[in-house]
Structure formats: structure tokens, C-alpha cells
Amino acid sequence: MMGRAVPAQVRLGDDVASALRAGRPVVALESAVITHGLPHPRNLEAAECMAEAVRAHGAIPAICLVDESLLWIGADMDRAASVARNPTREKASVRDVGSVIAMGGAAGLTVSATVFAAALAGIQVFATGGIGGVHAPFGSGDVSADLLQLSRSPVVTVCSGAKSVLDIPRTLEFLETVGVPVFGYRTPDFPGFYLSKSGVSVPMVSSPAEVARVAHAQWDLGLVAGLVLGNPIPAQERIADEEWDAWLQEAQRSAQRAQIQGKAVTPYLLDRVATLSAGRTVRANIALLESNATLAAEVAVALIA
Ligand code: PSU
Ligand code: MN
């Protein structure tokens, strides 16, 4: 993979640009989890952990965000921290990126916006916590832009499943409909974010090399869809089903009472479960982000080997 010309509104970090030019492994990192998913200052700690894990496993991290009318692919930690602290920062999915750039705003990028950015720069692997999907209750009409964009960007997305507040079977059905292959990493059960299992079976892959073979086979055919690789949360941080169900139900009740809607739903629920669990969900989230960053780096290395 060689670097490619990027549009004028895009800035590549120096180390990202030189790695891409030299064909060395790069891993894109999501920033909505930093700007909207985790409380300050644990969010910055999470960003550092992810970047460090990517470096420790032989790849260059590329935090993707919007700031000062530019789409940054490989923002440095100072810029990430300044966007995270900006009180007017937005959570941008792929449809919002153009308008935030045009208006001179700042934004953390969701999975949909990050896989778009990664593909634009020629980055083939991306690490996040959980992808968006089909919200429960079915019929609410809330389906994340992540799902369609995953079918349009040839990037391996390493995650610990879909966001814990979603309808997982319907999310996986949607990915099938739009042609996105989904795998479990060393597990036949799609991971359940804070829980190790979601209860839905997926094909299993057991090494970064195997993931790389599948990705090459698919992309060499000219298929543009990305791959979703579900990596279970590290065992010592996983949360028991009953505990999680209780916190989630309570959080959903208060979201309903407060009439939270649209893209505010996820940040609101995450904030509520963090409080209800006395911080356990935050710790679990950071642990899985770090573990996903590690696996993503290994896959990026394997893709180039
Ligand atoms: N999963 C989490 N925390 C998050 C997200 C997912 O545990 O903050 C973010 C990701 O950026 C994902 C986005 O792309 O939520 C999906 O949001 P929506 O449902 O509004 O599309
Ligand atoms: Mn949504």
C-alpha cells in the first residue's frame, strides 16, 4: 500500500504520511469515543493507550478528527486533547464531515466517518470500541450510518462487537444485506462489547495472517466492502450479563424520560451506565480499546507482510 494524493481539506500527520509513502503499517483510530464516548480525563488516557498499543505492535497510529476546517488523519495528542476539550465539538458521522469542515468547527469522528477517512488515505486497518448499528426497539428507525459506510470503505474494522445498547441480530443481518463480512477473532460468537458474547454466531478467524488473507482475497476481486473483526473484551474486564442488563434498562428509562434522541442517544446512555456501574463500564471500555488497537496493529503488519 502506497500513499495517495489526498484532497486539499485533508492533513496527514507527518509520521502517517511517511509510513504510507514507505508502505509501512498504519492503524486509523476513532475519535468520537474520545470526544463523546468517555468522560474526561479518562478519554485522553484511552487515546494515549490506543496509540501506544499500536506503536508497541509495529504500526503507526492515525487519530482521525476534524479541526480548523481540515480533516486530520494522524492528529497529534495535543490536537486530540484540544478537540476533546472544545465545548462546541461535534460528533460527526460521515454525513457531517463536510459541513463541520465548511463551518470551521471541530469534531470527533464516528466509525462511519473514520473508515471513510482511512480509505481516503489508503489506511487499511481501523481500531474502535464498538460499531454503531440497529437500535432497539426495532422500528425506532435509528440505524447507524456506520453500517452502510462499512460496505463502502475497504478497511478492516477491529471492534469488540456493536455498541452494547443495540439489537445485535438485526445489526448483523444488516451487515449481511450490504455485503460486509463479519468474523469473530478466536471465537465463534460475535462479541458483546462489555460482555464476551452477544449470542450470535459468526465465522471464526484465528490469526492476523488469516484476516489479512481474507481481506486480500476480497479486495483483489474488486469488492470494496470492509471487514468487521470482533475481538472479545479482555476476560478480566468483562461484565456479567445480569449486571449489564440492569444498568442498561435503568439508563434507557432515564433516556426516555429525558426525551433524548438521535446522535445524543449513545453518549447519554454511556454516561448513565458509567455512573450506575461506578466506573466499571469506563474501565472495561478502555481495556477493550487498547486490546483492539493491539490486534489492529497486528493485522496491519500482516497485511503488508
Ligand atoms: N460505541 C461505544 N461508544 C461510542 C460509539 C460506539 O461504545 O462512543 C460511537 C462510535 O463512534 C460509533 C457511533 O461510530 O457511536 C455510532 O453512533 P450512532 O449510533 O449515532 O451512529
Ligand atoms: Mn443513531
What are the tens digits of pLDDT across the range 36-65? Answer: 989 999 999 999 999 999 999 999 999 999
List the chain residues with pLDDT less than 50. 1
End-to-end CA distance of the chain: 11
Q: Of the residues 29, 33, 91, which should be mutated to test ligand 1's pocket, given the most ligand atoms within 8 Å of the CB?
A: 33
91 noted as active-site residue: no
In a domain, 48, yes or no: yes
Q: Quote the CA–CA distance of 281 and 239 in Å, as a whole number.
A: 8
Give the residue, by CA position, lying nearest to ligand 1 atom 16. Answer: 132
* 4 part of a folded domain: no
Task: Please state the domain count of the chain.
Answer: 1
Q: Write out the residue range of the structural domain in which residue 101 sits.
A: 10-303
Q: How many residues does the chain have?
A: 305
* Pocket around ligand 1 at a 6 A CB cut-off: 30, 32-33, 36-37, 93, 110-111, 129-130, 132, 144-146, 163, 263, 266, 270
At 256 the pLDDT is 92
Using the mean position of ligand 2's atoms as its centre, give its distance from the Cα of residue 92 in Å: 11
Out of 163, 237, 263, 290, which one is annotated catalytic? 163
Question: pLDDT at position 150, please?
Answer: 98
CA torsion through residues 184, 187, 193, 197, sign? positive
CATH of the domain at 276: 3.40.1790.10
Compute the distance between CA of residue 198 and CA of residue 180 in angstroms, rounded to an integer.
18
Pair type for strands 60-67 and 107-109: antiparallel
* Residue at 52 is within a domain: yes
Distance (angstroms) between ligand 1 centre and the Cα of 109 equals 9
Residue 75's SS3 state is strand
> Is residue 2 included in any domain, yes or no?
no
Confirm whether 163 is a catalytic residue: yes
**Radius of gyration of the chain, Cα coordinates, nearest whole angstrom:** 18
Separation of 265 CA from ligand 2 center, angstroms? 7
Which of 123, 75, 65, 55 is CA-nearest to residue 290? 55
In a domain, 291, yes or no: yes
Nearest to 228 by CA among 239, 241, 214: 214
Query: What is the model's pLDDT at position 146?
Result: 98
β 60-67/70-75 pair status? antiparallel
Please identify, by atom number, the ligand 1 atom nearest to the C-alpha of residue 132: 16
For 14, 153, 225, 266, the CA distances from 116, given in Å and listed in that order, are 20, 6, 11, 21
In a domain, 49, yes or no: yes
In DSSP terms, 183 is beta-bridged to 229
Residue 3 lies in a domain: no
Task: Give the residue, by CA position, lying nearest to ligand 1 atom 6.
Answer: 130
Q: Which residue matches cell numbers 500482516?
A: 302
Is residue 5 in some structural domain? Answer: no
